[in-house]
Amino acid sequence: MRRIVDGGIRLYLVLVLVFLYLPILVMALLAFNKSPLYGLPFEFDLVWFKALAENDRLLKAGMNSILIALANTVVATSLGTMAAVAFGRYSFRGKTIMQALLFPPIAIPWLVIGTAMLVFFFWIGKAIGQPGIARGLHAILLGHVALSLPYVIFVVGARLNDYPKAVEEAAATLGATPWQVFRRVSVPILAPGVVAAALFAFAVSFDQFVISYFLAPSGVTTLPVEIYTSIRKGFTPEINAISTIIIFVSMGLMLIVARFYRFGGERSGNE
């Protein structure tokens, strides 16, 4: 009976993985198919990658997404790490309320948040006599930071709770200044959590469609918005090509990060 249950669990896991990854593998495979209509038999060709290199709209939108995601990663990770340290190591008035306010940006649908941000930026622009400030890359960046901050705070906060405060107190007892304690003790311990939070912030920003769609100015788009627009006009395998590049780059970065950081915990010396 035990063997049947174990076999059923393994089969279930295999089916879940197939369900998740088979569509991605098919999309990546069809990016190398010469036929624009996914005709068979399969003919290997790089024609769609060549077409992608000449598609200025997709490339420009991709560059916008990368720049915004990088800026969001730096800002959200920096602010989120400091907030996580403040929540984890200090007591102050309103702390519980502020922690509770981190959940609505995650729980509320992004459609509602996008609409609220558009109205908010429009109201600010109208108040200062600059209605054009309601939409732009600056608004997209602020919106992405607002969405990414709770994730960063939770990820870094979870790492912060994994080691006792006594470690920092011991360093302070030995004569280290608060800055030295943070730089030489806290930062190395928090590093895996900070890296994971940074990757999360980058993914949330790079993949964000709703906020970018609502706050993007005329003539400026991000990659998710441009892909959505292209699909409405007629799907082309160039989208498969750029998606395949993104998948391979993302997996490469994850493998590199996993090589240097043990997210699954410390290993014993005998392993």
Give tens-digit pLDDT for 148-174.
999 999 988 888 887 777 777 787 888
What CA–CA distance (Å, rounded) separates 58 from 173? 56
Give tens-digit pLDDT for 194-249.
888 998 899 889 888 888 888 888 778 888 888 888 777 766 778 888 888 888 88
Torsional sign, CA 178, 183, 185, 189 = positive
Would the pLDDT of 89 be above 50?
A: yes
Q: Considering the entire predicted model, what is its pTM?
A: 0.80
Q: Which amino acid is at 220?
A: V
